[in-house]
Chain A
């Protein structure tokens, strides 16, 4: 049987993480499935397991100095119920799994899984979220876009834990989220889309677009967004074919048991077109 740790403080957790190279265990909703074996048997871990549920420093949502700080161990339900959380993230979380899973699953877990279909990621990408990574000796902060490196792969070091997620609070008057799953609830994404924009006097002052499940990591292309900023509705409409073409070049989905690459690509571009045509008013 592997060693199991249940620390009470972040410091203790980080010490264990450093000394034991233990696997961090947050909500466990993915780990329990991935590590599951046969009915009736405990899941299998080859390395020590570090339970984080008693670490108070990792929980809670704080609103300060124009930023929302979300403890990595906050459950999806807690985030959904908190009024300081940006809408785009709430929209996404409301469509993740089922109530029972949202009561257990954490945002830190969803991020560190780095699934291409991880539904909290596109909203966090468009909100320019940052992650705070702690180790026993230091702490660092980075953009979530840089933290997520590939399917199941992040920049988390062996002695680090994801401590919190920081979201700058910004004003957007257009907030649009669309998940296309395998059914209406309790489903994994075939495609997800998060789009936010600020429209002042008919001019786009800011726009951010991110896609989930269409590439190895969530997709966001600030260079294409730049081309839309400063334009009015008429100019955007005229530019839609060009924008779609640019995204078409970087949207690279795969075929899997849930959908086809062709469907994913077609649909994500159609949702983008709908967003630009119908949501920006």
Chain B
């Protein structure tokens, strides 16, 4: 062990310069499209133009030598992308289920010619009746897309006795909320490179989960695991969009490389990326809430319906996270939550930062505001009266074991934003259309339920002869910072300089399966394992010049969870947040100007305050845009907002500075006390800004995105209260 000055900061939270920063700023970091090969073949995907149809025939133009078609007949193993229900084919078989579903690839050396051939492929369809909305999925007589009831998932859990509490209620209030699609718009479009050499296949690409990709390839090829290698390239943003989707196109390039015996490159065009990759699930969330005459919530009956699109993907897990967030941060004695995710003939919905929680938190926070307004009480005080505290039970009956600092966080954010003053003041000066809103929220850290126990993450630390230590994990830096934060955890535990910790982009030939880079789990779960591995390595440091230490995840003993009944601890731990947003609505154009944004979080302990600030800033802006501008609509299953001209994400001019703070609340099992942070900042933004709009207008907001067009309609219709 080095005794010299390690250059380490005293507190782990103190920011260091991002390890991957300089190469990225110089433009030298290698993204998937930046690799150069002489004999690479280009692939272009021929896709369904129909939302639902039988494929009657496929006519392929004559192929020049060196050009190939890759389709369902080239899949040696199972033509299904391994995920949860394994229902999505790599290439369509007899039917297509959404516009953009891949049917075949055209592959060849000249992109121009490949494109030419692809545009001359003629597909004859026989239309089938498409199911295009949640309503249609639930009520129409059209043949189901999935199973008999057309539901990918239908779950239910209950706490207390809901029916009897509704009988005793003094007041019952019903509400209905809707949320729309959201597209990730990671700046780097999806892309993969496939290689075939000496009986092995290797795929390089932009991805969050190298082992998801590897497992999908093993299944598609029917090959032994050691014949498949997956390497993550520098990944230009993910936000969940590169969680499950890359498995599909990794399959495409692998199959093409095997068939052509050449490297194959498939890089998405932005329009293609918007049209065919997964999106955030649209939702319809209904509440029926029972109150007593002391303004206490007695019970809540919540019905959540998500639009899953054509294939299941991760929809059932997204739904569960939405359900576990259904009653928000509140202590509700009697609860019933039903959740369904319907199949529709649209592009599959999937993982997106927050993973079901943003839909639920928008709904519950707006509902809580609405309840307070109906009762004529202050929304914040009404919320505070019901917030969960240590020792309370969650909606699934999980025990809150750690201190909940929400009350303290509300006081901090109130002093930062002067929320309470402004709330009273703006209400009096209605003509100016100013409003301020607050949201309270949590994010469950890591996988839901027993997920982590099933994944059994494995990490390795390798001490090299030169005294440097390499981190061997499968987690990807897509911008959120693990190349820096995981290094910090190891370097601080070992007391060695940051530069002596090595961590390369993961390669499944070299790293164990430490699980996917999702669910805000990388620091808390993988970082936690690395901290424990590093402690062991520190103790054994002088045993040998080269040393390898590994650790496998074990669920903390306190966790109890019954997946069948959805009862118990839905998450090992929670991070918490409070957001305040101030707006001014333009009385002429109904445009919303965000005037101020304040945020306070309890993420345990920050591993790097600057990286956390980046997560906060980026998450809030993405969340505000989800609420205000990111509108995506379809017509006959075709996306209308399919370019960056029409699908509107924020520019540098759209939102003002954000003032944020952290309260420390170390978690015993997290590395240095850290909990989850990546998704949390997204979750609270939409309900805070919508509460502010609602405050400005005096009219409930029940749908996002809420555009100026919607606000005009709300104003004209007037208050329903």
Contacts and interface: CB of A to CB of B under 8 A. Distances in A.
B651 A183 contact: yes
A183 B591 CA distance: 9
Contacts of B641: 257
A267 B269 contact: no
A75 to B, nearest CB: 20
Nearest to A33: B645
Interface in B639-660: 640-641, 645-646, 648, 650-654
Contact of B269 (A39, A186, A259, A274): A39
B267 A259 contact: no
Question: Chain A interface residue count: which class?
Answer: 20 to 34
Contact of A183 (B44, B633, B648, B712): B648
A262 B708 CA distance: 12
Contact of A38 (B269, B633, B653): B269
Contacts, number: 62
A61 interface: no
A41 interface: yes
B67 interface: no
A271 B653 contact: no
B645 A188 contact: yes
B588 interface: yes
Contacts of B646: 257-258
Contact of B589 (A41, A180, A262): A180
A185 B115 contact: no
Interface residues of B, number: 29
A192 B375 CA distance: 43
B709 A185 contact: no
A183 to B, nearest CB: 5
Given A259-B709, A263-B709, A270 B640 contact: no
A39 B270 contact: yes
B654 A183 contact: yes
Contacts of B640: 257
Is chain A's interface secondary structure helix, strand, loop, or mixed overall?
loop
B588 A274 contact: yes
Interface in A224-281: 257-260, 262-263, 266-267, 270-271, 274
A267 B589 CA distance: 6
Interface in B462-509: none
A184 interface: yes
Interface in B580-606: 588-591
Is chain B's interface secondary structure helix, strand, loop, or mixed overall?
loop
B5 interface: no
B653 to A, nearest CB: 4
B111 A182 contact: no
A147 B640 CA distance: 31
A187 interface: yes
A262 B717 CA distance: 14
Interface string B199-217: 0000000000000000000
A270 B633 contact: no
Interface string B111-128: 110010000000000000
B229 to A, nearest CB: 26
Contacts of A183: 629, 648, 650-651, 653-654
Interface in A167-184: 180, 182-184
B403 to A, nearest CB: 41
B654 A185 contact: yes
Contacts of B591: 180
A37 interface: yes
Nearest to B118: A38
A185 B589 contact: no
**Most chain A Cβ neighbours within 10 Å, of B189, B270, B648:** B648
A40 interface: yes
B471 to A, nearest CB: 34
A38 B589 contact: no
Nearest to B708: A263
Contacts of B651: 98, 183-186
Nearest to A39: B269
A270 B588 contact: yes
A30 to B, nearest CB: 11
B44 A38 contact: yes
A201 B112 CA distance: 67
Given A38-B111, A257-B641, A274-B588, A185 B652 contact: yes
Nearest to B647: A257
B712 A38 contact: no
A39 B643 CA distance: 13
Interface string B588-630: 1111000000000000000000000000000000000000010
Nearest to B641: A257
Contacts of A184: 651, 653-654
B433 to A, nearest CB: 13
B300 to A, nearest CB: 35
Interface in A95-109: 98
Contacts of A98: 651
A182 B648 contact: yes
Contacts of A185: 651-654
A39 B270 CA distance: 8
A263 B712 contact: yes
Nearest to B629: A183
A266 B712 contact: yes
A116 to B, nearest CB: 15
Nearest to B267: A39
A184 B590 CA distance: 13
A178 to B, nearest CB: 8
A187 B112 contact: no
Contacts of A267: 588-590, 708, 712
B629 A41 contact: no
A269 to B, nearest CB: 10
Contacts of A182: 629, 648
B654 to A, nearest CB: 5
Interface string A182-201: 11111110000000000000
Contacts of A40: 42, 111, 267
A224 B77 CA distance: 73
Contacts of A37: 115
A271 B629 contact: no
A184 B589 CA distance: 13
Interface in B103-145: 111-112, 115
23 contacts: A38-B44, A38-B115, A38-B269, A39-B189, A39-B270, A40-B111, A41-B115, A183-B629, A183-B648, A183-B653, A184-B651, A184-B654, A185-B653, A187-B648, A257-B641, A259-B709, A262-B712, A263-B708, A267-B588, A267-B589, A267-B712, A270-B588, A270-B589
Given A183-B651, A262-B709, A270-B588, 8 more contacts: A33-B645, A41-B111, A180-B591, A182-B648, A185-B651, A185-B653, A267-B712, A271-B588
Interface of A: 33, 37-41, 98, 180, 182-188, 257-260, 262-263, 266-267, 270-271, 274
Interface of B: 42, 44, 111-112, 115, 189, 267-270, 588-591, 629, 633, 640-641, 645-646, 648, 650-654, 708-709, 712
Query: Which 6 pairs, one residue from A and one from B, show the smallest C-beta to C-beta distance?
Result: A184-B653, A185-B653, A263-B709, A39-B269, A185-B651, A257-B640
